[in-house]
Structure 1
């Protein structure tokens, strides 16, 4: 069923809780880059090493960091002018663009389709995605796994309407999954790896062959346009962390574990499924992202057709 623009705006406002961070002009007149990050990934490692602070200091900038529970919440903060830059999966920027956010795609990481999956309990009678018909599936609304669920159902011959959905952030999703309140949970690493290790959750379907699962670096468009040199430095630092992490997975897991509160062995499993090599969006990546946007438009989950190419930074990565 299609939803109205007003209903969509209400949905976004109600579902994306904005963390308590200071809001001020996106133009960062005092030369600060405010970065939103999640509990896992390259930006957490970058924060921990202090590499970016050193690089930005050379051009007169400082850094402020704010943690978010998921991509939708991070981009809501970006839209509100509370952060300037951050990283999310594929779906959050589509929902944000549809809601009128002034965002711009700056760069991306290569596909990591094994880094997200539909999970069921180890003793669940559900053996295939087709068995999800009529079942209750938990996921974070507007996150990258939202598209994974849509495509997995499509592959299995089911419609999105054939299942029930419970929209829950990762912590609440894990609790509902463990308690048996939902039949399946669609989630990304490291939460995915943690469930697989701690409670022996069984993978029903990951993204291989159906979704790329890119990670995108996004900025507030006014900030990126006014502070291009600082954005270039951020991406350069991300690239250096990528190279180090790829070559030192165990060390990266050990370094990340204290800050995210997840055991090293779980993080090592997750990091092995992550992709590395930040680069500019090319035509193929833009086309893949456009397909995701078009799918959500057709399902009535966003109220209008989007043009992804309109919000991609040109010439830099």
Structure 2
């Protein structure tokens, strides 16, 4: 057998070491590039049911936060949780404002989202009817036309309210309409009742004397700011910076209630008194998601599972734990308190 010259063996070893070094360096370089990479844009929604999102947009707080960083800021209007979740699922936004239970429904269907911040604890939904209606209780809804927006907190509120009195969706004639259209359908008599959402609900209450015939603040789930899981994993620092911007907006709303109401009135094109009533129903005191929110979402999830909206085999508790991630908000708020 022909012997390989010693010089060739040494060359082969040296060449191998060079190749290994290059591969390791490339790997380190690639890893470093990924962790320090900035997104080209950050896309957030704004919604009339999320007053803090309106402050973020109107005051240009994101633009101020990322000034000089060559990151484009884009705003998209969400007309309901269902729309915000559609935007998140289709990668049309990076942050979307929804009700907590609606986010759980989406998570159960495989939506790649996580809740990273609480923008408010609202009583934004109730069951509504016209002032001359013979509907006085949830039981009276049996056989009636009821408007609601599928996949949103008002819809879930309706299901839970029916469940409390031994009824189900099958006992009513559900009319699936977006929130504003549901309000119009009620005021024109096309439906008998409506699972309302502010500010539309507050407007009907003040302008047409519509009756909020069933209210239960405990059945309203929290206002969740969700982000796409991929975005959170790729840009954790930017998630925290977006949350810090929402924190500025939240504190501004608390400190400037009159100006916040005026801003909401202008942006949502509603009367000032309507905007004030909506804000009265929002608690902005606790922005960090945690056990309180998990308990509320699990309760809602159990009803949704019983109503066969969520698959019977789904593990509600595990889904909730996967959905709610307090780590980002905890980090931001801890740093702000330290300042």
TM-score, length-scaled by structure 1: 0.85
Match among 304, 320, 328 for residue 316 of structure 1: 328
Instruction: For residues 40-80 of structure 1, give each alpha carbon's deviation from its aligned partner in whole angstroms, at most 9, with x where no partner exists.
Output: 42101210011221012266533110112111111111111
Shift of residue 290 of structure 1? 2.1
1:139–1:168: 8 Å Cα contact kept in structure 2?
yes
Structure-2 change in CA distance of 1:310 and 1:225 (3 Å) = same
Q: Aligned residue pairs: how many? A: 288
**Larger Rg computed on CA atoms:** 2
Q: Which residue of 2 aligns with 1:280?
A: 288
2:131–2:210: 8 Å Cα contact kept in structure 1?
yes
Instruction: For residues 102-128 of structure 1, give each alpha carbon's deviation from its aligned partner in whole angstroms, at most 9, with x where no partner exists.
Output: 111111145323x21111001111111
Matches within 5 A, 1:221-260: 221-260=229-268
CA distance in 2, matches of 1:68, 1:30: 22
Shift of residue 29 of structure 1? 6.1
CA distance in 2, matches of 1:95, 1:258: 32
CA distance in 2, matches of 1:54, 1:62: 11
Q: Which residue of 2 aligns with 1:128?
A: 137
1:160 aligns with 2:169: yes
Q: Which runs of 5+ in 1 are unaligned?
A: 1-27
After TM superposition, the structure 1 stretch with the greater mean CA deviation from structure 2, 191-200 or 289-298, is: 289-298
Q: Which runs of 5+ in 2 are unaligned?
A: 1-36, 330-339
Cα-Cα RMSD:
1.9
CA distance in 2, matches of 1:311, 1:171: 28
CA distance in 2, matches of 1:287, 1:76: 25
Structure-2 change in CA distance of 1:188 and 1:171 (3 Å) = closer
Q: Which residue of 1 aligns with 2:304?
A: 296
Structure-2 change in CA distance of 1:248 and 1:198 (3 Å) = same
Shift of residue 261 of structure 1? 0.9
Q: 1 or 2, which has the higher helix percentage?
A: 2
TM-score, length-scaled by structure 2: 0.80
1:129–1:205: 8 Å Cα contact kept in structure 2?
yes
